[in-house]
A and B are shown apart, each in its own frame.
Chain A
Amino acid sequence: MSENPTTETTRQDAGGRAIIEARNVVKRFGGATAVDDVSIEVAPGEIYGLVGENGAGKSTLMRVLAGILTPDHGSVVVDGRELEAGSTRAALEAGISLVHQELSLVPELTVAENIVLGTTPVQAGFIKKREMKKIASDALEEIRVQVDLDEPIVRLSVALRQFVEIARAIARKPRVLILDEPTATLTPAETDYLLDMLERLAGQGLAIIYISHRIPEIFRICNRVSVLRDGHLVDTVSISDIKPNEIVDKMVGRELKQELETSRTKVAAGDVVLQARGIKAPGVNGIDLDVRAGEIVGLGGLVGAGRTELVRAIVGADIKSAGTVTINTDGTMRRVNSYRSAISHGFAYVPEERRTDGLALTMTVSDNIALPNRSQLSRYSVLMRGKIGTFAKELADAVGLRPPEIQREAGDFSGGNQQKVVLAKWLGRKPDVIILDEPTRGVDVGAKVEIHRLVRDLAEGGTAVLVVSSDLPELLDLADVIHVVRDGRIAGTLSRDEADEKSVMSLASGESQVRGL
C-alpha cells in the first residue's frame, strides 16, 4: 500500500532531483537481517523523517548512508552517482554528515578540537590553531549556539555536547545532514531550539534526514516520513497525508498493538523480597527501593538519569559507595555485598548491553544457557553433556527461541532471540529477584510480546521483578508501580492507575517542578 506522495505537500517532493538515494539496501549482521531491501530518496531542502521501533533498522540504514557500514546488497547514490560502498571518506566528500545517536566526541579534547576532528587544518604537521578556531566558531554561529571553544567536552552538559556534535557535522559543510535521535537527551526547550534550527538549515537548501521516536517532532518539521519495521520499509508518505496514530499503527503493526496493550491482571503482591536502602554510586544520589514477591516495579526516566547505574549498584555489578541491599526469601534475610553473592542468593540480572554483557556470541546457545547453571549440570567438575542438552532445550522452548537450534552460536540469532537466550539462562536458576535493564531494546515486535509475557509469567510465579525501560508504553504496560528517576534520585512514584505517558515524562524531565505540579 505504498502510495506515492501527492502534490499537496507544503514543500517540494524529491521527484527526480533527489540529492541522496538508498537503493535496495540490505544489511545483515551474522544471521540477522537488520535492513532488508530498503530504498529512500531525499531532496535538497527537505526534512525527511524516519521512524520505527527500536531495532527497526533506522540507525543501521543511516550508517550505511554515511559509509560506516558496507551494505550486503544495494547502493547509496548521491547526485545520481553511486558512492563507493562502506567508505566514510567517500561519504564525507559527497557531503553526507551523520550526527550519531551515541555521542562520538572525545571527552578530553576541547570544543574546537572536537569540531575539526578528522578534518583538522594542519601545516607541516602542526595544527593551524587560528584556522581551527575559525572553523569551529563559524560552525557554532551557523547553528547559533554559544560555547567556549577552549572548554574540554567533559565539562559540558549533555545537551551542549549534542549541539557541539551538530556543529561538528555542520563544519564539514554537508549537503545531507543525518540526525539520529538528537532529542533523546534534550529538555523540551532545547528540543524546540533544535527543531527551529533544523527548519532554518533546510530553508538554506540542506537535505535533512531526521530519526526520532517522538511523533510530534516528526509532524512539526518533516515533509515526508518513512516507517521501518523489522528492517522493512513499511511505507513512505507525505506528512500531510497521514495522522499520528496511523504512523504508530504502521510502526507497531496493527495486530500487535492490541496485544501490547493487554494489561496485566494485578497480582496480590507478597512480602518484600528485594530491599535497597540509601544506595549511592556514581550517578546515583541516595535511593531507597522495595520490590515485593510477584510485583513488577518499573524504573522510568530519561537516558542518563541514573537508572542503569542504580540497578548495577543494587546487584553489585558496579561498586556502590553507600547503601545496603538485602534479599528476603524463605523467612531469612541476607545481605548482598558482592555481585557473586547476589547471584548465589537468588538474583538474576539481564544487562542493558546484550551483546557485550549478556551473551558470549561465539558460543552456542546451549553453552550460554549452561553458563550460570553449571553447578547443577556438572559432576566432579566434569560437565554432563547430555544433561546440558536437555536442560538448554527445555529452556529454549520455554522462551520460544526461533529457530530452536541450541547448538548454533548465539551470534547467529536476531536481537530478539538473543534476548530470549539471556532470559533462558537466568530462568534456569529460578530466580527470586530478576532485574531487567531495557529488556526489549533492539528487539522485533514479535519477540517483544513474547518477552513481556515471560516477564509477567515470572511475576505470577512469585519472582520480584525490577525493570528499567526507556520505552514508555512498555513500562506502563508491564509495571505495577513506576519510580521515575531523575538526576540519580527518585523524582516521583506512580501507581498503575496514576501512570500515563504524560505523568511519567513530566516527572522525568522535571517539567512538573517548573510548573509547580
Chain B
Amino acid sequence: MTNEAQSVAEAVVGEPAIEKQPFNLLVWMSSRGIFVFTTVLVVVAAIFIDGFASLDNITDVFNRAAPIGIVAVGMTFVVISANYLDLSVVAQVATAAVVLIAVSNESNIPAAMALAFVIALLYGLVNGVAVGVFKANAVIVTLSTTFIGLGILRWFSGGSIYFGPQDGAIRSFGLAKIGPFPLSMIVLILMTLILSFVLTRTNFGFLVRSYGSNRDATRLAGVNTAWVVIGAFTITSIAAMIGGFVLGAFSNTAVSSMSTGFDFRALAAIIVGGTSVFGGRGSVLRTLLGVVFVSVLTNIMVLSGLGFGVQQMAIGALIVAAVSIDSLARKASGT
C-alpha cells in the first residue's frame, strides 16, 4: 500500500481505532473468572473447613481427581474443536482399566498396555471418522460408541469384577508417591503440560483451535480437516486410556461400571475452566484449574457432611451456570 492511499483513507475515515470494550461481568467471568474463583475457593476452604488443609486430605482429593482430570485435559481438544464432547470416555476408561488388570493377570503388563493402546486408537479413529469425515453429530456418535464399547466390554467380562494381585506392580504404582505427592497427581500434571504444549505450540494444536473457531475458514485455507477431528478424538482416547490405567491401578480392581459419570464430570471441569463449548477458545491449563475447582468444591461438601445427592445437584447447577455465562459472554463480546 502506498502512502497517498493511506493519507486519503485517513483523511476521510480517520484512524479507525478499536474502541475499548466496556467492562462486562459475564465476559470477565468466562475469561478470567476461573483463576480468581479457584484461588478464593481454596483459600476459603483452607481457613473455614476443618480438615481441608491436611496433607492426607489434599492427597485424597488429588487421587480422586486425577483419573477424571486426565480424561478432561484430553477431552479439552474435542471441546475446543467445537465438537461438544466425547461421551464414550465412559466406555474407554472402564475398558482400559479392565484390560490393564484382566490381561496382566492372564499374561503381562506390557501386553495389557499394548492392547489398551490399540483399543484407544480404534476409538479415536471410529469417533473421528464418523464426526470428521461423515460430519455426523459428535454427541450422538459418541453416545452410540459408548453403547458399543460398554456392550463389548460386558460381553467379554460377563460383568465380573477383576482384582489385581495384592503385591503386584499395578498395586504398587497405584499407591506410589514421589515425595508427598501421589504418582497419579504427577501423571495429571505431566499430561497437562504435554497436552498444553501440543495445543498451543504444535501445528496440530493450532489447527484444532482454528477448526474450532471456524471450520469453514480452516477448510478453505487448504487444511485437511478430517485429520484434525480424528486427531482431537484420538488424543481424547489416549488420555481416557491413561485415566483408566490410573483409576484401575489406584483401586487395584476393574469393572465395566467403574467410570460412570466420567463424561459429565470431565465436561464440568472443562466448562468451568472457561473453555467455550462453541469451540476455538480455551486451554488445557484452564481445564486443570476447572478440575481443581470442581474437586475442591466436592471435597468441601463431603467434609461439611453433605450427601452425594447434594454434590451431584451442585455440580449440575454449576455446569448450567457455566455454559450460560459462556453463551452470554460470547454474545456480549460480539463474536
Contact = CB atoms under 8 A, between A and B. Distances in A.
B19 A372 contact: no
Contact of A402 (B15, B224, B333): B15
A363 B8 contact: no
A356 B216 contact: yes
B304 to A, nearest CB: 39
A117 B180 CA distance: 67
Contact of B12 (A255, A356, A358): A255
Interface centre among B16, B17, B334 (most CB of A within 10 A): B16
Contact of B335 (A230, A255, A361, A400): A361
Contact of B222 (A340, A399, A400, A414): A340
Contacts of B6: 400, 450
A360 B217 contact: yes
Interface in B142-175: none
Interface in B253-312: 280-281
Interface residues of B, number: 40
B32 interface: no
Nearest to B2: A453
A398 B12 contact: no
Contacts of A363: 209-210, 213, 280
Given A411-B334, A413-B18, A381 B8 contact: no
Contact of A343 (B8, B203, B207, B222): B222
B1 A444 contact: no
B15 A411 contact: no
B132 to A, nearest CB: 15
Nearest to A374: B203
A33 B8 contact: no
Contacts of A425: 221
A338 B324 CA distance: 40
B1 A399 contact: yes
B10 interface: yes
B66 to A, nearest CB: 28
Contacts of A412: 18
A512 interface: no
A408 interface: yes
Contacts of B21: 31
Contacts of A259: 5, 8
Nearest to A259: B8
Given A30-B334, A382-B203, A411-B334, A356 B214 contact: yes
B1 A344 contact: no
A358 B217 contact: yes
A405 B20 CA distance: 14
Interface in A410-454: 411-414, 416-417, 425, 444-447, 449-450, 453-454
A28 interface: yes
B202 A359 contact: no
A358 B6 CA distance: 24
Interface in B185-231: 201-204, 206-207, 209-210, 213-214, 216-224
A304 interface: no
Nearest to A409: B335
B261 to A, nearest CB: 30
Interface residues of A, number: 58
B22 to A, nearest CB: 9
B217 A403 contact: no
A360 B280 contact: yes
Nearest to B22: A72
Interface in B21-41: 21
Contacts of B317: none
B13 A453 contact: no
Contacts of A413: 18
A382 B15 contact: no
A382 B214 contact: no
B213 A360 contact: yes
A382 B202 contact: yes
Interface in A348-368: 349, 351, 356-363, 367
Contacts of B1: 398-400, 450, 453-454
Interface string A107-143: 0000000000000000000000000000000000000
Given A411-B334, A413-B18, A449-B8, A339 B219 contact: yes
A30 B214 contact: no
B210 A360 contact: yes
B200 to A, nearest CB: 9
A446 B203 contact: no
A349 B210 contact: no
B11 interface: yes
A400 B204 CA distance: 30
Given A317-B220, A361-B214, A28 B19 contact: yes
Nearest to A360: B213
Contacts of A381: 202-204
A260 to B, nearest CB: 10
B334 A28 contact: yes
A18 B209 CA distance: 51
Nearest to B335: A411
A383 interface: yes
A344 to B, nearest CB: 7
Nearest to A347: B222
A383 B210 CA distance: 14
5 contacts: A30-B333, A359-B214, A371-B218, A400-B5, A445-B9
Interface of A: 28-31, 33, 230, 253, 255-256, 259, 317, 339-340, 343-344, 349, 351, 356-363, 367, 370-372, 374, 378, 381-383, 385, 398-400, 402-403, 405, 408-409, 411-414, 416-417, 425, 444-447, 449-450, 453-454
Given A344-B222, A444-B13, 15 more contacts: A317-B220, A356-B214, A358-B220, A361-B213, A362-B335, A363-B209, A374-B206, A381-B204, A382-B203, A409-B335, A411-B335, A445-B12, A446-B16, A453-B2, A454-B1
Ranked nearest first, the 5 interchain pairs of A and B with the lowest CB-CB distance are A446-B9, A343-B222, A360-B213, A31-B18, A30-B334
